[in-house]
């Protein structure tokens, strides 16, 4: 169980680290956009859209990594004082009844939307915008896959805690 989780975790961290490299270009794009707009009084649609593309790609890659590192949002009022097994029960139930259905619903609703976009090679509605909207929309499916894989590893690790009463070796 833990061997499978380790393999998935390595893939999740690798994807996260690769896509985290887009943080610097994202900051530079935001800076360039602000300079062009407020200093030089001009703007470029493609520059504004590039910020959205970069942000979407970063969010896709880092969601699974955040789950793996246990840095996701959680209401810790009672969770922080619970035993390891009780935390594992909460995590398993939350994963099975909240996260997994969310991912399935997002995949199910996004797939036709993305397929339509690819079929028509959808581009920006703006004349000088980025012509690859279909690639941007594909990020929704990539999000489901990457977070779904991280969810499987997370669930395997929590099931290990439930069965053995102790954390894994990694």
Residue 98 resides in a domain: yes
* Span 33-56, average pLDDT: 93
Residue 129 resides in a domain: yes
Residue 85 in contact with residue 168, Cβ under 8 Å? no
Residue 67 resides in a domain: yes
- Reading the block at residue 37, the tokens are 């707009």
C-alpha dihedral sign at 82, 86, 88, 92: negative
Asked if the model's pLDDT at residue 43 lies above 90, the reply is no
What is the rounded CA–CA span in Å between residue 81 and residue 141? 36
Residue 37 resides in a domain: yes
Residue 169 resides in a domain: no
- 14-23 pLDDT tens trace: 999 999 999 9
Instruction: Provide the number of structural domains found in the chain.
Output: 1
Number of Cβ within a 10 Å radius of residue 6: 16
Model confidence band, residue 169 (pLDDT cutoffs 50, 70, 90): low
From the list 5, 4, 55, the residue with the least C-alpha distance to 27 is 55
DSSP type of residue 99: I
Asked if the model's pLDDT at residue 170 lies above 70, the reply is no
C-alpha dihedral sign at 10, 11, 17, 18: positive
SS3 label, residue 77: coil
SS3 label, residue 10: helix
The mean pLDDT of the chain is 92
Q: Which range marks the domain in which residue 84 is found?
A: 2-164
Percent of the chain residues topping a pLDDT of 70: 98
The structure's pTM equals 0.87
Q: How close are the terminal C-alpha atoms of the chain, in Å?
A: 12
Farthest CA pair distance, the chain: 63
Residue 22 resides in a domain: yes
CA-only gyration radius of the chain, Å: 20
- 151-161 pLDDT tens trace: 999 999 999 99
């Amino acid at each position: 169980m833990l061997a499978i989780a380790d393999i998935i975790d390595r893939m999740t961290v690798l994807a996260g680290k690769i896509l985290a490299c887009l943080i610097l270009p994202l900051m530079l794009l935001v800076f360039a956009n602000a300079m062009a707009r407020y200093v030089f009084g001009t703007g470029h649609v493609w520059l504004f859209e590039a910020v959205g593309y970069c942000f979407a790609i970063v969010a896709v890659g880092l969601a699974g990594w955040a789950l793996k590192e246990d840095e996701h949002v959680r209401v810790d009022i009672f969770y922080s004082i619970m035993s390891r097994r009780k935390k594992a029960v909460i995590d398993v139930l939350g994963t099975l009844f909240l996260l997994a259905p969310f991912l399935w619903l997002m995949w199910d609703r996004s797939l036709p939307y993305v397929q339509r976009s690819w079929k028509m090679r959808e581009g920006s509605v703006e004349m000088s915008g980025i012509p690859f909207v279909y690639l941007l929309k594909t990020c929704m499916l990539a999000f489901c896959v990457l977070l779904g894989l991280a969810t499987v590893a997370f669930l395997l690790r929590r099931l290990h805690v439930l069965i053995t009463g102790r954390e894994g070796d990694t």
